[in-house]
Amino acid sequence: MPKNKKRNAVHRGGSAGGGSGAAAATAATAGGQHRNVQPFSDEDASIETMSHCSGYSDPSSFAEDGPEVLEEEGSQEDLEYKLKGLIDLTLDKSAKTRQAALDGLKNALASKMLYEFILERRMTLTDSIERCLRKGKSDEQRAAAALASALCVQLGPGIESEEVLKTLGPVLKKIICDGTASAQARQTCATCLGVCCFIATDDITELYAALECLESVFGKSCLPEKDAPLVRSGPGAGLHVSSLLAWTLLLTICPISEVKKKLEMHFHKLPGLLSSEDVNLRIAAGESLALLLELARGVESDVLYDDMDSLTRMLRALATDGNKHRAKVDKRRQRSVFRDVLRAVEERDFPTETVKFGPERMYIDCWVKKHTYDTFKEVLGSGLQYHLQSNEFLRNVFELGPPVMLDAAALKTMKISRFERHLYNSAAFKARTKARSKCRDKRADVGEFF
């Protein structure tokens, strides 16, 4: 899918504080070590100043804020002041404080467009993320990788995001391939590597290196013998799921020659993952097979997989799975996904989905588009709807055109107050209850029906 390349001059200005001395929470000593300092002098410690400072004194409170809270945060200056404080707190001595600051920054970038703000502080943010990835433990590494993904989504394709990937790419690959690192951290780093390469990389060599890194992880789940049973579950399964999905995402932007090569190498191995004990790994393998078949049929009409009958039988068994040893929720989810996968294999069809955001709607009509949407939904969460309306990069990826501009009056008419929703739901409930009571009344006159 097309990506709009924005070439901006590299901004090397902007500090972690980005403002007056009141916003600075750390300072560098002569030896290069960071130490905590008082953010305010005694003269500034008035009641009004201290109440303003409390906005970022506890980063965990901001880390839990959602899009609704951010919209009501106040003026843009107040929000930027709070974010400057969180950037400073990524250098704190406490790992818990650093992690909370990273989570808070990620939530902010996922919920609002802050391009100009982060552009001035891109290098500072990148350095903080790199430091937390290198020296942090499991949760801190996970939070840093999630922030890196949101940062690249904000910057979009261009020189700035390319430099972010150039700095963080080697660290992410090292963590992904490190068997002693936390499985959760490796899982988030795999997703981050896929998203950042999808957005930023223009170097085909870098793209192929990322693919090989991800292959080295999920490839361990694929047995050489396609008929051999595969049993894989536990904490490591999530890492293999994320690696496979990130690899599939990057394959959608590869040249045709590379797509053919990867299909020949891996397509016959992936059906082995359908026998995994982990439901998420089975589903990821099924969706990846459907997407690869879609890519293959786009290149050639002939299917590359020889034993298509065996694959179809396996998919049909998963689409009608009634194994009593599996949870009902997992079976329902699995059957729903594999019905669509089986439909893609047999009928070369995809059930169109509709995504509504603001006054617009988007139609997901192919596996490539669905996989791309699911990936960015994982990265941005509920903030994806806001980005689909405002983020030029994502609108270009999903071919939505330029952002739709609405004035305040139009937005106000589109919103329904909570009180109005309550009145509507109450009236609908009463009408429904009245209709049901009339039908259930045993004293109803039966003769009127004759």
Q: What is the pTM of this model?
A: 0.75
Confirm whether 211 is domain-assigned.
no
105-to-144, 389, 441 alpha-carbon distances in Å: 10, 21, 58
Confirm whether 78 is domain-assigned.
yes
- pLDDT, average across residues 381-403: 93
pLDDT, tens digit, 9 for 90 and up, residues 153-195: 999 999 999 999 999 999 999 999 998 999 999 999 999 999 9
User: Could you tell me the two tokens for 232?
Assistant: 């894989």
pLDDT given for residue 371 in this prediction: 97
Confirm whether 283 is domain-assigned.
no
pLDDT tops 60 at residue 70: no
| Side-chain half-sphere CA neighbours of 365 within 13 A | 5
Q: Which of 100-109, 207-216, 250-259, 315-324 has the lowest mean pLDDT?
A: 315-324
Residues 254/291, Cβ–Cβ less than 8 Å: no
Confirm whether 280 is domain-assigned.
no
The residue whose two tokens read 């690959």 is: 173
- Is residue 59 very low, low, confident or very high in pLDDT (cuts 50, 70, 90)? low
Distance CA 108, CA 65 (A): 8
For 381, other C-beta atoms within 10 Å of its C-beta total: 17
- pLDDT, average across residues 427-443: 65
pLDDT given for residue 259 in this prediction: 87
Distance CA 244, CA 96 (A): 31
Distance CA 341, CA 151 (A): 33
Q: Which of 130, 154, 187 is the last residue of a domain?
A: 187
Q: Return mean pLDDT, the chain.
A: 79
The residue whose two tokens read 């809270």 is: 69
pLDDT given for residue 36 in this prediction: 45
pLDDT given for residue 324 in this prediction: 73
pLDDT tops 80 at residue 334: yes
> Which domain does 123 fall in, by range?
1-187
Distance CA 204, CA 116 (A): 29
**Between residues 164 and 44, which one has the greater pLDDT?**
164
Cα angle 40, 41, 42 (rounded to 5 degrees) comes to 120
Distance CA 14, CA 17 (A): 8
Rounded percentage of the chain residues whose pLDDT exceeds 70:
70
Which secondary-structure segment (H or E) carries 381?
Answer: none
pLDDT tops 90 at residue 52: no
Number of domains in the chain: 2
Cα-based torsion angle of the residue sequence 440, 443, 445, 446 in order, rounded to the nearest 10 degrees: 70
pLDDT tops 80 at residue 131: yes
pLDDT, tens digit, 9 for 90 and up, residues 279-307: 999 999 999 999 998 988 877 655 556 67
pLDDT given for residue 420 in this prediction: 66
**Between residues 425 and 249, which one has the greater pLDDT?**
249
Confirm whether 64 is domain-assigned.
yes
Confirm whether 10 is domain-assigned.
yes
Q: Which of 171, 187, 203 is the last residue of a domain?
A: 187
Q: Which of 170, 187, 204 is the last residue of a domain?
A: 187
